[in-house]
Structure 1
Amino acid sequence: MGLTACAEVPPVQADPDRPRVHPALRPHLVAFYDFDHPVEGDPALERDQGRSGTEIELINGGAAMRVPDHAYPGSGDALQTRQINPATAGNDDWKAGTWSASGVGTLRAFAGTSATTVLGWFKREMDGPAPNSSTADLDDRYHAIGLAGVLTGDSDGHGVRALLELIDVHGELRLVAFGRRLDGGNSQTFAAAEDWRTLLPKGEWVHLAATFDFATGAMALYRDGQPVAGFYTRDDDPWRVSGPGPHVTTASDPRGIKIGGSFPQDTREANPCDCRMDGLMFLDSVLSPDDVAKQYHHMVR
């Protein structure tokens, strides 16, 4: 069934009697999007079910980006993101997020923090990075597929503090946690060792999580509640945590959240994801392996 046809189906109502968040996560849940809560009067906006109240925009597709697909029992709609015109250098890709040049004040929990976790449900519908719409070469492709992340305080809409994505690592596409502690500073990448197509089978819902411990420099990935083996792409100290602490992120409000691609201010296109997403969570803590497993099993029970 095509996207247009899906958009015309009456929205499936989520089960209000099924809490989506395990109690262990709730105190640290800054933002949470289940794509079942459009803003009244503007269905192109999605309400935050976390504590921050940060609304996000369903960019370019609006309400049609909510599709009836069920990532977990009791879920309602999911978010559809996708590239629209691969041969045109335009700004029409379907993606989601929010952006402000002065910083998004409701996301202040990620300013001067020692910890962040990004997690959610993802279903890929693409075989690799999309064609690069910013170049004339039709064979040129992006080097990454954007999933979901928090921007830095000086971001142009692409640079991030904490991100889940698929990116080229030493010539191979890999699932990664990608983080940056300091605005304008170096990034670190923790890459999954297993093949990305095994971790994210095409057409299947998978629960992913990435944790970022800015105090120690440690990162981790999880799939369906279980740790994912991986490796760091740098063996130096890109986050500068070897000296005296405390080590926290720059005390600047993030410029926003990006989902399914970069530049949520919609000024250009990069790294689109032909994907469906649901239950996206952004926390100001490093979830333990036990808490990641608790959240996964809490949603699928």
Structure 2
Amino acid sequence: MNRAGRVVVAVAAVLAVTGAAAPVNADPTGPSDVHPSLRGDLVAFYDFDHPVPGDPALERDQGRSGTEIELINGGVAQRVADRAYPGGRKVLQTGQINPGVPGGTDDWKAGIWSASGVRTLRAYNAAAGATTMGWFKRETDGPAAGFNAIGLTGVLTGDSDGHAVRALLELIDVNGTLRLVALGRRLDGGNSQTFAATEDWRTLLPKGEWVHLSATFDFSNGTMALYRNGQPVPGAYTRNDDPWLVDGPGPHVTTATDPRGIKIGGSFPWQGSADRNPCDCRMDALMFLDRSLSSREVANQYRYMIRG
């Protein structure tokens, strides 16, 4: 079992015996980089400036859930000096390590996975909405050989093998063209819906430039949205049917299962796993919230960060 998996099992065992609530951030006011109006909705937040004491290959969660993630394959070396926004310090480096080796298992990525579900992420169990956002710097010219996507970050489903997601930011081939997308799935084992940006992905994510991206997911209404630097990104859904099955009587929420984890910079977030959709990128201030933010709230968060 990987290091992050052992953390999940240990925490679950303690909770089962004591009946205690899931761990929360010690600071009741929330992280200073998060707009005060959003701190109560912040499930998880990673700024890569908070290694776990005694095990720096793990990153502490600054959100309310206390969900530690693992810096996979690179460990401490994945924290590099860069500045995504005023006040930022270290950032996360992800990427493919051996491009010419098919079936590799050594890509730098991050996240957490548990086959029994990650209890600290219970906010996404029967959830009406979600938002994923963060800062990203692209260092690649396209998907790695043999793949059709570049994985950014997302929350897994309750039955995920480490790839399937409830709420995901990604670059993926849509009808032969790489697009920035929000991809969501309301029901475990159900169909996904994709909202794909119209503008060229290289314009939205210029190589070597920090960009703030957000994706919102309203599972009640079956809608999603993308934002770049706090502004809405025009786009379109790739399906015109009802993949989330929200046309009938509600309420419509996600499956009542705990997500199996979070993936960052690629799929299968544990050491020794197969590599898929690696992202040669830098990332910082990854935020996971348990509701679909409004356009005004996304803009407020972006402005809050760039003002330092």
Return the TM-score normalized by structure 2: 0.88
Q: Give me the whole-angstrom Cα distance separating, in 1, the residues matched to 2:247 and 2:137.
A: 38
Which residues of 2 match residues 1-301 of structure 1 at below 5 A? 19-88=32-101, 89-131=103-145, 141-266=146-271, 267-301=273-307
SS at match of 1:107: helix
Q: Give me the whole-angstrom Cα distance separating, in 1, the residues matched to 2:247 and 2:232.
A: 26
CA shift for structure 1 position 24: 1.4
CA shift for structure 1 position 90: 2.3
Q: Give me the whole-angstrom Cα distance separating, in 1, the residues matched to 2:185 and 2:275.
A: 22
Deviations along 1:184-239, one digit per CA (max 9) or x if unpaired, are 00000000000000000000000000000000001000000000000000000000
Deviations along 1:109-137, one digit per CA (max 9) or x if unpaired, are 00100100000000000000012xxxxxx
Deviations along 1:72-128, one digit per CA (max 9) or x if unpaired, are 001110000010012222210000000000000000000100100000000000000
SS at match of 1:25: helix
Q: Give me the whole-angstrom Cα distance separating, in 1, the residues matched to 2:32 and 2:56.
A: 23
Q: Give me the whole-angstrom Cα distance separating, in 1, the residues matched to 2:110 and 2:228.
A: 23
Alignment RMSD (CA, Å): 0.8
Aligned length: 275
**Paired amino acid for 1:64:** A
- Map of 1:3 onto structure 2: none
Q: Give me the whole-angstrom Cα distance separating, in 1, the residues matched to 2:300 and 2:265.
A: 26
- List 4+ stretches of structure 1 deviating above 4 A: none
CA shift for structure 1 position 19: 1.7
SS at match of 2:37: coil
| Gap runs ≥5 in structure 1 | 1-17, 132-140
**Paired amino acid for 2:100:** A
CA shift for structure 1 position 265: 2.4
Deviations along 1:256-281, one digit per CA (max 9) or x if unpaired, are 00000000024211000000000000
Q: Give me the whole-angstrom Cα distance separating, in 2, the residues matched to 1:27 and 1:265.
A: 29
Q: Give me the whole-angstrom Cα distance separating, in 2, the residues matched to 1:55 and 1:105.
A: 12
- Map of 2:9 onto structure 1: none
- Map of 2:20 onto structure 1: none
